[in-house]
Chain A
Amino acid sequence: MHTDGATRLLWHTAAEVRSRLILLVTLMASRVALVLAVPALLAAALAAVLGTRDTTWPVTWLGLTLIAIAAAELTLGQLAATTAGRSAVGLQTRTVAHLLTLDSRRQLPAGDAVARVLQAAPSTANLPLTIAGLTVSTLGSAAALVALFWIDWRAGLVFTLAVPVVLAIARRFMSQTTDAQHGYYQTQAEISHGLLAALTGARTIRASGTVATEISRVLRPLPKLSAAGRTVWQLQRGAVWQLQLLLPLTQVLVLAVSGLGVAAGRIAPAQLLAITGYLAIASGAFDHIDTLFEIAHARAGAGRLADALAQPAPADGTRPLPAGPGAVSLRGVAVHRDGQALLQDLDLDIPADTCLALVGRSGAGKSLTAALIGRLLDPDSGQVTLDGVAVHEIRLDQLRRAVVYAFAQPVLIGTTIHDTIAYGRPDLSAADVASAAQAARADTFIGRLPGGYAAELHAAPMSGGERQRLGLARAFARPARVYILDDATSGLDTVTEAEVSQAITSRLAGRTRVIVAHRAATAARCDLVAWLDAGRIRAVAAHADLWHDPDYRAVFADSPQQPTEATAQPETSHA
């Protein structure tokens, strides 16, 4: 199935540039045909020289052929580069676009995803060309061998006899090297593994002043790597000198046989040049043994790419966004991961224009529930609706413009600060961005950056709280129907958080707000609290009403030993 996917992907890639590929193969074939003509023409020209005949025509033909070869190579190089480039761009863009559609459960780790896009896509795009090139040049080598037989069958036979020996040497070398290379790569992986492991302890190492110890620990396998490298050299040495001897000796033998032919008058002396020429073209086939390995490697890459592309993307809806105030409803929702139920039988109604807090212990399913509304994740069963229409029926781009998120750890992306807040929304004006930043209490620190909103994102060092505020501004800048703040104020101090809460109340008035909250104060500021417990709704009520329940209060205290102390607290009321 793995290879099937790879084959399909390759056919598909080839089909996309079909006409260019046909042109390329035609050019390659013409070039090989011209190259095959050269030794014969050269011999003819030389024969004319030696026979002191008029050399005008043979030399003209030879010259024209050589010019034609150069022209073919020029065109080929250019065409091959643009064709492969075009395929690669298509594949890369398609893969990135596809990876972006996958929901959080199917997403590949970022490092793996990047590797697939950057390594597998270009080699896959190149593969049809590589295979075509290999086929054409192998056919050319075969034709050169036929030409050898044609000029002198003895010469052809001598070369043919050498072929199996060369192949045997190459084969033995490849199988031995595979093991040695494997050992080499393993040791290499050991070192990078050690380095990465040490990096996870960067703060410890820094605080302990043990960097020298760590360096020597990471480098401990280096002598082993060196030894493995030398083993590969050793194997290469064996194979290379044998081939270095065998091929020229074959050439000498062929020359000897043909020299005898010259002496016997069977062959004209000028033909010797044709024989060496064809011999070189025929031996060219041996250079392609490496190409076979490259192809196998690239095919494996294509398989990995096909795997990534085969991950099913959530189906886009067909209905337009329904008109409505932003009422959200979840019915009988369940989400599983690795056979474990993360959400179960979850029913929740979020009336329009309500500020709802999602609270619960960590792992209760708060973020998961929040993710369902904007289809960052689809439930395994049950239904989520927005203004009466199931979210999976609504066109995704429209749904996600209507449901906006801010996260606890926003990944900021964009060139400038303005671009970061307005990311993907060129229609937002500077005023929109500035007012959103002000609402998120990000305007002050942005104002202090050199260049303000035009400051480069990467050049601006920020604390976790500042990043969160940019993430909030990014959400506030977008007009939407439902705003989901997934723990998006956790890094703010209480004063700022209260100010941001105020902005949420005033700026987002009339919209539905869902706030994943860890602080009691945050939950208290919401109209309604949905209390999640082990993937189910435990209660939906006002914070003040729930506060009577010691279990509810325990949600906000980190330690399980807390409830006894908390009961002593007087009752709270909420305005």
Chain B
Amino acid sequence: MRDRVLTTDGRRLLRHGLHGSRTPMLRIAAWSVLEAAPALAAGWITAQALDRGFLTGRPLDGLLWLAALGALYLVRAFAERAMFPHLAQIVEPLRDALVRRLVDATLRQAAAGRPADAAAVSRLTRQAESVRDLSAALLRTARPLTVTLLAAMGGLVALTPTAAALVLPPFLLALAAYPLALGALQRRRMRLLLAEEQLAAQTGTVLVAARDIVALAAEPHAVATVDTAARDYARITAKVALAGSARSLLVLLGGYAPLLVLLIAGPRLVAAGALSAGALVGAATYVTGYLLPALQMLTGMVGGLWAQLGVTLTRLAQVSAPPPAAAATTAVPAGQELTVDRLTFAYGPHAAPVIRDLSLTVAPGEHLAIVGASGIGKSTLADLLAGLQMPGRGDVRLGGVPVRELDEPTRCAAIALVPQEAYVFAGTVRENLCYLNPWATTADLDHSVAQLGLAELIDRLGGYDGQLTDPGTELSNGERQLLVLGRVHVSAARVVILDEATCHLDPAAEAQAERAFAGRAGTLVVIAHRIASARRARRILLLDGACAHLGSHEQLLESSPTYADLVGRWAPEPAAAGRAVAGAAVS
């Protein structure tokens, strides 16, 4: 039944996180024995203090007994103190392992083309943190609780087996019944957490779509969906409370009932001499001071913590499963010719293809521009050329080898794709420039910097060793693009694909950047943001839906109304726009 709360995956993740915690756990177990001393002896000592001290006219002896109890408390406090470093030794590495796993999985998934959104990431980091808090809380409450329970039961049996025989059976029965009651409760708690996620997702969906909902006058409908999810959540909260009330009954039957039995049977036992007055008070102390509070804690807080821990771990295990590694050949491309052969790509098995039967060859050293309306699939083509997407049909080959089959280091060393959103990270300027070529010398850097006209920017940032702490705010979009261009220029890649990578530069800087790349050894493919950028290329590939046209600026201007429209010279004749443009372009 517990399996539902903590699934196999979750348990595996927990085991992974606790790997190497054996020593601290053993140490904690050892200290726990000392920690149990007061629970074991408290009732017994109280009995002795009364029977051999305060009740028999020897108050000094009574005080001595109590002093002994004080000493045991001192021992417990020391044991607890000694345990803390070991607790930290379990909990902190557990958190470290989870954070490591999470960062690893999130980035690997992003690198596999499935980036998580910011909300999901922050939810995950919160969950890793809550595993730390929950496991710490469990180690600090559940563990001493177990120890206390065992010790107090032992103490009671030692003090008076008669009273123990009356008290322990119902208590143990309640303890045994608890997992049964717990099963139902835990399942409801699990459902509660799922309902909470559902509510979060629904609220997120609605708030993200706020503009569209308002524009559609669909607020009542949207609010109703959130309201339904919130009501579901509230309903399950009430159900959890109801299931939780079973614990009040357990406490009543397992904790209070034995006490009453003890009190009812007490007079006869005392009268029969089976129990001394002190022993009775002592037995009652065990029950009210240790067993009852332990039962209350166990059914209340500990059960809740355990359910939360289980659900959170299960969730984390689900989302942090590492993506499968792609198979790759060890083939090495022969040459740098980029061949596109009957390439077809669609976003889903049933979606209309974005690229259909595209064939072309880009010779080594050539400069090709790709143009087309936004959303038409230019970036998808760039991804296909760089081997980041799996073609539906046909393939892209570099030096005769399909790019998807190249192993990652070879592919990435050969082809550099530069997206529009320039990625500059916190670190030195040099680290950023050498990102794709760790072996680049200062002279290499100087060369690229001069070619791209980066010197001024780099001086302003404090030279190559200048530190960037928050590039997102320290640098403008254009400056970040310049740095990234510098990085790619420094790299050894022989095929460079600029996917609107210069869109934030002014036309002059863009022209200089493109000239720098055209002058660099290797092939250049530019997804053009401005028509001026397309004009610098020898050949232009125009994407228009699943159709594509290849030609020079002048040829396309002549043959394609779409191109003319893009260039801003829309020619008359309304029918032209409706006329289907013939099939695929072939180089």
- Name the residue in A204, A262, A276, A491 with the highest tally of chain B Cβ atoms < 10 Å from its Cβ: A204
Within 8 A of A (CB), among B224-280: 226-227, 230-231, 233-235, 237-238, 240-242, 244-245, 248-249, 251-252, 256, 259-260, 263-264, 266-267, 270-271, 277-278, 280
Residues of B within 8 A of A491 (CB): 373-376
User: Could you tell me if B104 and A215 are in contact, using CB atoms closer than 8 angstroms?
Assistant: yes
B519 interface hit (Cβ, 8 Å): no
> Chain A nearest CB: distance from B369 CB in Å?
13
Distance between B549 CB and nearest chain A CB, rounded to angstroms: 12
What residues of B have a CB within 8 angstroms of the CB of A450 in the complex?
A: 350
CB A549 to nearest CB in B, in angstroms, measures 13
- Cα–Cα distance between A264 and B62 once the two chains are bound (Å): 12
A207 touches B544 (CB 8 A): no
4 nearest A-B pairs in the assembled complex, by CB-CB distance = A491-B375, A424-B218, A201-B423, A493-B545
Residues from chain A with Cβ under 8 Å of B546 in the complex: 493
- Are A573 and B572 within 8 A (Cβ)? yes
* Cα–Cα distance between A101 and B370 once the two chains are bound (Å): 42
B227 in contact with A201 (CB, 8 Å): no
Asked if B129 CB lies within 8 Å of chain A CBs, one says yes
Q: Which of A63, A236, A496 sits near B260, CB closer than 8 Å?
A: A63
Cross-chain contact B121 with A199 (CB below 8 angstroms): yes
User: B382-401 vs A: 1/0 string, CB under 8 Å?
Assistant: 01001010000000000000
**Chain B residue with minimal CB distance to A279?**
B289
A93, A213, A449 — most chain B CB neighbours (10 Å): A93
The contact sample of 27 A-B pairs, CB cut-off 8 A, is: A81-B237, A202-B110, A203-B388, A206-B112, A207-B415, A207-B417, A219-B103, A229-B95, A233-B91, A237-B81, A256-B66, A273-B281, A400-B215, A405-B212, A411-B212, A413-B205, A423-B213, A445-B350, A461-B351, A463-B354, A463-B377, A474-B216, A491-B374, A520-B569, A559-B507, A572-B570, A574-B572
Contact assessment for B217 and A463 in the assembled complex, using a CB-CB cutoff below 8 Å: no
Q: Which residue of A lies closest to B345 (CB)?
A: A463
User: Which residue of A48, A222, A519, A553 is within 8 Å of B100 (Cβ)?
Assistant: A222
Chain A CB within 10 Å — which of B92, B100, B216 has the most? B216
| Across-interface contacts of B99 in A (CB, < 8 A) | 191, 219, 222, 225
> Are the C-beta atoms of B581 and A495 separated by less than 8 Å?
yes
Is A25 interfacial (CB-CB < 8 Å)? no
Q: Known contacts being A210-B435, A259-B62, is A100 close to B214, with CB within 8 Å?
A: yes
Write the nearest CB–CB distance from B153 to chain A, whole angstroms.
19
Query: Which of A48, A219, A262 lies in contact with B50, CB distance below 8 A?
Result: A262
* Residue among A110, A259, A557 making CB contact with B53, cutoff 8 Å: A259
Residues of A within 8 A of B26 (CB): none
| Beta-carbon nearest neighbor of A468 in chain B | B375
Which one of A196, A234, A262, A401 lies within 8 Å of B217 (CB-CB)? A401
Determine whether B348 belongs to the interface, using a CB cutoff of 8 Å to chain A.
yes
Q: A45-B263, A50-B270, A445-B351 are in contact. Are A260 and B218 (CB under 8 A)?
A: no
Highest count of chain B CB atoms <10 Å: which of A70, A80, A450, A553: A70
Are A206 and B571 neighbours in the complex by a CB distance under 8 Å?
no
Q: Which of A96, A215, A401 contacts B107, CB < 8 Å?
A: A215
Cβ-closest chain B residue relative to A572: B572
Contact of B478 with A by CB under 8 A: no
The residue of chain A having its C-beta at the shortest distance from the C-beta of B215 within the complex is: A405
The majority secondary structure among interface residues of chain B is helix
Given the complex, which residues of A lie within 8 Å of B231, measured CB to CB? 89
Question: Is A460's beta carbon under 8 Å from chain B?
Answer: yes
Give the shortest distance, in Å, between B491 (CB) and chain A (any CB): 9
**B113, B204, B285 — which one has the most chain A CB atoms within 10 A of its CB?**
B204
A199 to B419, CA, bound (A): 13
- Smallest CB–CB gap between B348 and chain A, Å? 4
B281 touching A270 by the CB < 8 A rule?
yes
Is A55 interfacial (CB-CB < 8 Å)?
Answer: yes
Contacting residues of chain B (52-111) with chain A, CB-CB under 8 angstroms:
53-55, 57-59, 62-63, 66-67, 69-70, 73-74, 76-78, 80-81, 84-85, 87-88, 91-93, 95-96, 99-100, 103-104, 106-108, 110-111
Count residues on chain A whose CB falls below 8 Å from chain B CBs: 165
Taking CB atoms and an 8 Å cut-off, the chain A residues in 537-575 that contact chain B are 553-554, 556-562, 566, 569, 572-575
Q: Kindly state the separation between the CA atoms of A517 and B462 in the bound complex, as whole angstroms.
A: 44
List chain A residues, Cβ under 8 A from B203.
Answer: 92, 96, 114, 117-118
Contact A82 B238 (CB under 8 A): yes
Interfacial residues of chain B within 184-208, with CB under 8 A of chain A in the complex = 199-200, 203-208
In the bound complex, CA of A444 to CA of B352 (Å): 8
Interface string of B559-578 (1 = CB under 8 A from A): 00110011111111010011
- B416 near A208: Cβ-Cβ < 8 Å: yes
The segment out of B12-20, B306-314, B333-341, B525-533 that lies at the interface is B525-533
Interchain CA distance A81-B240 in the complex, whole Å: 9
Q: Check if A77 sits within 8 Å of B245, measured CB to CB.
A: yes
Would A490 and B78 be within 8 Å (CB), given that A195-B107, A249-B73, A463-B354 are in contact? no
Please give me the residue from chain B that is nearest to A63 by CB atom.
B260
Do B215 and A376 touch across chains, with their CB atoms under 8 A apart?
yes
Interfacial chain B residues near A256, Cβ < 8 Å? 62-63, 66
Cβ-defined contact, A494 with B412, below 8 A: no
> Which residue of B108, B115, B211, B281 is within 8 Å of A272 (Cβ)?
B281
When chains A and B are docked, how far (Å) is the Cα of A63 from the Cα of B284? 15
**What residues of B have a CB within 8 angstroms of the CB of A218 in the complex?**
103, 107
Q: Is the CB of B212 within 8 A of A410?
A: yes
Nearest B-chain residue to A41, judged by Cβ: B263
What is the CA–CA distance of A85 and B81 in the complex, to the nearest angstrom?
40
User: Is A169 an interface residue when CB atoms closer than 8 A count as contact?
Assistant: no
**CB of A448 closer than 8 Å to a CB of B:** yes
Picked from B59, B208, B264, B277, the residue with its CB within 8 Å of the CB of A411 is B208
Whether A248 pairs with B531 at a CB distance below 8 angstroms is no
Instruction: Kindly provide the distance from the CB of B534 to the nearest chain A CB, expressed in whole angstroms.
Output: 10
Contact A273 B375 (CB under 8 A): no
CA distance A158 to B2 in the complex (A): 46
